[in-house]
Structure 1
Amino acid sequence: MSLLAELASRHCSPLRGQDHLLPEDKIRGYLNALPDWERIEDGQAISKTYRFGDYYRTMAFVNALAFVAHREDHHPDLSVHYDRVVVRFSTHDVGGLSLNDFICAAKVEQLG
């Protein structure tokens, strides 16, 4: 099983506090498994832009992503445009990147 598939098969859990911040080696490893995702905001978040042929497909993706985020209780910041969606994950309750961010990013990858 690939790392991407392994992450996508997991579920988020409530995390609070800096004890749940991921170490650099884990972040790099997980990021390598997520095609075209990048670290932003001084490494405190991850982001990817998904592009679509029209507004209908864009909104279908947003709705599917909203379902996943609700089910996992881990919600990204979204910037929605006619033909693209910018997805940004960070775990506010830990002050940076946690395992939940990468679990959800992997699930979003399965949608795109």
Structure 2
Amino acid sequence: MKTTLTKERCVACRKDAPRLTDAEIAQLRKEVPLWKVEERDGIPILERVFSFPDFAAALRFTQRVGELAEQEGHHPAILTEWGKVTVSWWTHKIRGLHRNDFVMAAKTDGIYESSAKGPSPEG
């Protein structure tokens, strides 16, 4: 799914940055419909489970998401297992969801879509 969020970059987030409202979250979820908003320890997080044919493919995806996180300066929780990867985005500083989390979810979807088209070239 194409979304304008993939064209955005993460912005530096301060501790006093406002969390997204429920209405803003509902609007942004339309751009990343396969992601769920879960609550853990009172903190809303954006989460999706991605499926893969084996551990090696899951690990390659994890590496690509990690590289994206480093480029953008925004880091998820990633659980890599045989045949699946769970990615969770939230903004630690504000203990909630920020637009950055939806930008990164959309970019993570793009990585998954490109990895589903076949093996990516090395390097």
Counterpart mapping for 1:1-112 below 5 A: 5-41=3-39, 44-112=44-112
Q: Aligned pair count?
A: 110
Q: Normalising by structure 2, what TM-score?
A: 0.83
**Does the 8 A contact of 2:55 with 2:82 survive in 1?**
yes
Structure 1 residues not aligned, in runs of 5+: none
> Percent identity over the alignment?
25
After the TM superposition, which parts of structure 1 deviate over 6 Å for at least 4 consecutive aligned residues?
Answer: none
> Whose relative contact order is higher, 1 or 2, with alpha carbons under 8 Å and at least 6 apart?
1
**Does the 8 A contact of 1:76 with 1:89 survive in 2?**
yes
Structure 2 residues not aligned, in runs of 5+: 113-123
Q: Deviations over 1:24-50 (max 9, x none)?
A: 111111112113100101561110000
**Does the 8 A contact of 2:77 with 2:88 survive in 1?**
yes
Which structure: larger Rg? 2
**Does the 8 A contact of 1:18 with 1:95 survive in 2?**
no
**Which one has the bigger helix percentage?**
1
Does the residue aligned with 1:19 lie in a helix, a strand or coil? coil
